[in-house]
Chain A
Amino acid sequence: MVQLTTANRLASLRTAPGLRERLDLPRRVVFLAAVSMIGIVTLLLGFIAWQGIQLFVKDGVPVGQVFSATWQPDATSGPTNYGLLPFILGTIAVTALALLISTPLSVGLALFLSEVAPRWARAIVQPALEIFVGIPSVVWGWLGLTILVPFLHDTFRHDFVISLPVLGDVFRVPGFLTGFSWLAGALVLSIMILPTITSVSFDAFRAIPQELRTGSLALGTTRWQTIRHILIPAALPGVLTAIVLGMTRAAGEALAVQMVIGSQPVLPRAVTQPIETLTAAITLDMGNTVFGEPWQDALWTMSLVLLIISVASVVLVRLINKRRMAL
């Protein structure tokens, strides 16, 4: 028998698995469990893609029509037109505004937690953030519906106009008709994505070597100068990843948005206006349409668009991180 020292036995177990090891049952079982995720993704992509193209394949709708602005899916009330532009732009509009509100707040909060907060403050704020993550989206939607929407309606009912003597009205935002609006959706979303952006940016700031801070402070900079000129640039890939993750979550959120957005499939023009997103339209109409009819096929096309957005964001995050590795 070959003499086995502890060292080379260990080494052989690690580096060159023998036949028995390769064939053993537990290994196969755990392998299947892990690989099942590839199976799920493949099936999901396949099924949604197949359903998503039915609008063009089976119903013969020209692909270009999807990019038009008119949504007239009901064949019983005139000629149909499956323009998805209001939904796509609506999703982009709500997501962008939510990011605009949430990013400064979340990155600030991440900076607070990693650079400013004493231990006791961090010990309170971090669990609070975890509770935020746990609050279900229908509850956020319900809060939006019962508090935010009436508040917006009661407070900003009148048109907001800036008039100049000669030029007349240079700026006009119509007041809220009902409170259900682009802004309401964006506000609800901005709170929902706050923990995501905060925790990923926090990790990015924590990962910065301490020497960068001490070096900068030793040169006589203030803490804010260190944050602005050293820490934020150093953590930028991580912060960008955080923003992309927040964006993905905002674009994919369905119920909370549907509850406050107002569901009007029009092109977004004013933040006080009710608009519609891809997710909200799917949520609202999927149950009211019949499987196989063009209207429902258009909803499947919307979900394909959503799927493309989310896969693209995964690829984007990977690209950002690859660049970080290279640096």
Chain B
Amino acid sequence: MSASTTPSLHLRGSRRSILADRAATVVLWGTGAFVLLLLGSIIVHFGIAAWGVVSPSFVLSDPSDTALGGILPILWNSIYMLGLTMLIAVPVGILGGIYMSEYAGDNKLTEAIRFAEEAISSVPSIVVGLFGLILFVDNFHMGFTALGGALALTMFNLPLMTRLSEQALRAVPQDERSASLALGATKWQTIQHVVVPLAIPGLVTSIILTAGRVFGEAAVLLFTAGLATPAHYDFTNFNLGDPASPWSPLRPCTTMAVYIYKLQSEGLGIYVSKVVDGSAAILISMVLAFNLGARLVGRLLTRRLTAA
């Protein structure tokens, strides 16, 4: 709002209150500048730290104890874990969003679902990790596996995915539904052919935002997918039952974020801090890409789908 010029000030306002107003304006602008400055310096810091570390060979080679080495297996694990998690979380989240937006009545059950949604969102990620530890590692005797990690991540991110899809679906105008129903379509046909297609830009944005969070998560995975550093992956080994195969969901799966935590806690070797700086720079750029991607893709899809 444009409250910067208030003529009445000069008539009634005391000098002190005008000064206080000026001071407050400066302070509030200061908060905005502070955030930008902080973000800018973080990006510059990692830009400098990653200089000379991040290179094609860093991304494409195996970790090493005696040289800088690379992070290929860990980067692969992060992407694999993301894919596996989204494979489960996206359908369940969107279906749940459809229920909450299209079917849920104003009753106790809906209330309970919302409470559960908020409760899971507020449970510390480390506790969700511990839950995964009891359930998958101890009770199902799976050991530390990519699958256990992906399931724990799904549980943790399901509320976010559900709520974002619900919002995307709710944003579809009511008239579209009425028109479809008036043409004789059933409720599900309406959802399937009218509501969901119209909500696709919003749904895609919610998927990418959830993906960004999954990609950077570590605490959930610490006790479900494990901390072991893979030495080398043979990408031609497609035997899913073989724990050594990089394609198998039943193998320990250390991701980038977990790897950073592990390296800093061990703190050995002269290359460790370089590897962590490089990994952190890659992690941040990926998350940045997810965020910008969500905005761009959302805008593009909206334009294409609504203009057509």
Contacts and interface: CB of A to CB of B under 8 A. Distances in A.
B187 A217 contact: no
A41 B12 contact: no
B231 interface: no
Contacts, number: 274
Contact of A314 (B12, B115, B135, B219): B115
B87 interface: no
Give chain B's interface secondary structure class.
helix
Contacts of A109: 28, 31-32, 35
Interface stretch (B17-25, B60-68, B69-77, B236-244): B17-25
Contact of A38 (B28, B116, B273): B116
Given A38-B113, A129-B35, A44 B123 contact: yes
Interface stretch (B51-59, B245-253, B284-292, B297-305): B284-292
B11 interface: yes
B168 interface: no
Interface string A23-40: 010110111111111101
Contact of A40 (B118, B120, B124): B120
A132 B39 contact: yes
Contacts of A306: 124, 126-127
B131 to A, nearest CB: 5
Contact of B20 (A147, A222, A307): A222
B227 A287 contact: yes
Given A41-B119, A220-B11, A283-B219, A303 B130 contact: yes
A125 B25 contact: no
Q: Which of B120, B178, B219, B288 has the most CB of A within 10 A?
A: B219
A135 B29 contact: no
Q: Which of A117, A127, A142 has the most CB of B within 10 A?
A: A142
Contact of A146 (B134, B158, B273): B273
B100 interface: yes
B216 interface: yes
Contacts of B187: 13, 21, 24, 27
Interface of A: 6, 9-10, 13, 21, 24, 26-27, 29-38, 40-41, 43-44, 47-48, 51, 105, 108-109, 111-113, 115-117, 121, 124-125, 127-132, 134-139, 141-143, 145-147, 191, 194, 210, 213, 217-218, 220-227, 245, 248, 251-255, 259, 279, 282-283, 286-287, 291, 300, 303, 306-307, 310-311, 313-314, 317-318
Given A115-B1, A136-B284, A138-B261, 13 more contacts: A21-B186, A32-B95, A34-B96, A108-B27, A112-B31, A135-B284, A135-B287, A217-B6, A222-B6, A224-B20, A226-B3, A282-B130, A310-B123
11 contacts: A27-B103, A34-B96, A35-B109, A44-B127, A124-B36, A128-B35, A136-B216, A217-B3, A254-B219, A282-B130, A310-B124
